[in-house]
Structure 1
Amino acid sequence: MEPRWLDDHEQAAWRRLVTLMTALPAALDGQLQRESGLTHFEYWVLSALSEAPDRTLRMGCLAGSANGSLSRLSHVAGRLERRGLLRRRPDPGDGRVTLATLTDAGRDAVVAAAPGHVDAVRRLVFDALTPEQTRQLLEIGDRVVRSVETERSP
């Protein structure tokens, strides 16, 4: 069966999307590391915990919230734990599950990092878009995420 090759317009859009998927995270990661000493993934982990009830999530749920694998999260959580930003413990209701809890120091770190991060997001993304383009970006993102999730589903 012959592949469904991309036409010139699709090829240009795809290349731009790939550039976006690599350049934007690198720029956000650099800003966070320079100003807060956190990687973008660490920031997402701390941010997800800061928004969770009791600042606590199961590690599996936290991995999903941060868009990372459980293995990657475990490595990063160990690093954050050594820095006193989160702590892990067995779930008292299910000893097979590990809970991650944001410490007060972790909350302070994410609160301190948030203004610089949101400023970078605004400068790099939203200042370049019209309100209509922002609406379209949300719609496009939703459609692509649904497509990816459908592909992952058994």
Structure 2
Amino acid sequence: MAETRWLDEREARAWRGVIGVLQRLIAALERELVRDAGLSGAEYTLLVPLSEAPDGVVRARDLGRMVGWERSRVSHQVSRMEKRGLVAREECGEDARGSMVRLTDAGRASIVAAAPAHVAAVRRYFIDALTDAELEVIGPALERVLGRLPDVYA
């Protein structure tokens, strides 16, 4: 068994910072989504790729891959969103086992109403806290980290 490579002070500081930012940023953004738009973070997460898709339709399995969720989580969330009239589930013409998720007019209206305040919050809490030079470093750095992570939802 290999010897553990413990984090040094610099590494531990960076790691604790990432964890703290993830937890508090997500909580703050979700709180504002609920307050300002009546949407949960999970609803917003699915509405974004649906609103960007041609005709507002995405296969459920692909939607899960796009947001990094397991199939059961997507299914449960889509069911909740169907009840609110934000999305509609349809049969997949290519594969009877699959389903398509369609953004409804109410869903599109919700994301259009929520997006400006959400982007303003992302800017206020994250983007505006960084210099241009830091943004040039952090984007590629996070992409490298993301590239090393296994795709557990594929």
Q: Given the two structures, how large is their TM-score scaled by the length of structure 2?
A: 0.94
**What are the superposed Cα offsets for residues 51-84 of structure 1, whole Å, 9 maximum, x if unpaired?**
0111101111111212222111111111110011
Structure 1 runs (4+) deviating above 4 angstroms are: none
Tell me the residue number matched to 2:72: 71
Tell me the residue number matched to 1:83: 84
**What are the superposed Cα offsets for residues 8-51 of structure 1, whole Å, 9 maximum, x if unpaired?**
11011111111111111111111101111111221020111010
1:12 aligns with 2:31: no
Structure with greater contact order relative to length (CA < 8 Å, sep ≥ 6)? 2
Find the residue that maps to 2:97 and give its secondary structure: strand
Alignment of 1:50-129 (within 5 A): 50-129=51-130
Tell me the residue number matched to 2:133: 132
Paired residues of 1:41 and 1:66 also in contact (CA < 8 A): no
**Offset of residue 149 of structure 1:** 3.4
Ranges in structure 1 where 5+ consecutive residues have no aligned partner: none
Find the residue that maps to 1:149 and give its secondary structure: coil
CA distance in 2, matches of 1:93, 1:54: 17
CA distance in 1, matches of 2:34, 2:136: 30
**Offset of residue 94 of structure 1:** 1.0
Ranges in structure 2 where 5+ consecutive residues have no aligned partner: none
